Amino acid sequence: MKVPQRIVFILMASLIWSVSLASTGLDVKISSEIDFIDVKHNGKVVRIQRAQSIINTINPDYAKTSRKCPPFCIQPGKLAEGVETIAELEVLGYLKRIANGDNSVLVIDSRTEDWVKKGTIPGSINIPWPRLKPEAGADPFKIADILENKFGAISLEGLWDFSNAKTLILFCNGLWCGQSPSNIKTLLRFGYPAEKIKWYRGGMQDWESLGLTVIK
């Protein structure tokens, strides 16, 4: 008896899906092409993947829909001319580059330490917004140290050369958070090239809402 072509296709698709699932063991992947990525955080390998329970819910810290504005006002989609706004897959792409040894990229959690202790994106480093902002009391020498030793800028007789500076991906708590926008605006004032700054606008709220791995 001849099996209808549609049935053959369904059976083949089911077989391919089963083999793929068996190879990763993950029911919930990051995307159709990405199962997980491994990054280093404080010298330890951490696997970023999505929560596998389909009844998993968002962290209560990010479940609030409303906070007092100001200061917790909704941020624009485009923060500044030349600064690219990115989402989760782009962030993961940059984290993968770092994991593969690309030293020209840095993912930065711009939040204050009290927020970072609740959990951050694996593979990121913490540079709280007050450490870069002179108006918030930041020490100019410590700002210069961050620009040189973290970001790869070069000081030239009071001026800054950003030719070989790193591409920075900055994030904070989400659409209502002004901490990464503050860092970005400060860096732009210093002359940091806009094309070397990427903004993950969704931040921890969107990261948590997708069940992606958080490290404390």
Confidence check: pLDDT of 181 > 70? yes
Which strands, in side-by-side order, build the sheet including 167-171? 84-86, 197-200, 167-171, 105-109, 125-126
Query: What is the pLDDT averaged over residues 100-120?
Result: 97
> The tokens of 191 are what?
């002359």
Residues 6+ apart with CB under 8 A from 213: 46, 47, 48, 49, 50, 122
Confidence check: pLDDT of 167 > 90? yes
Measured CA to CA, the distance from residue 140 to residue 131 in angstroms comes to 9
pTM score of the predicted model: 0.87
> Tens of pLDDT along 183-192?
999 999 999 9
Alpha-carbon Rg of the chain, whole angstroms?
Answer: 21
Measured CA to CA, the distance from residue 183 to residue 165 in angstroms comes to 16
Mean pLDDT of the chain: 90
pLDDT score for 213:
98
> Tens of pLDDT along 27-65?
999 999 999 999 999 999 999 999 999 999 999 989 999
Query: What is the pLDDT averaged over residues 172-197?
Result: 97
Q: Around Cβ 62, how many Cβ atoms within 10 Å?
A: 17
Measured CA to CA, the distance from residue 210 to residue 216 in angstroms comes to 17
pLDDT score for 24:
59
Confidence check: pLDDT of 8 > 80? no
Please report, rounded to a whole number, the percentage of residues in the chain having pLDDT higher than 90.
85
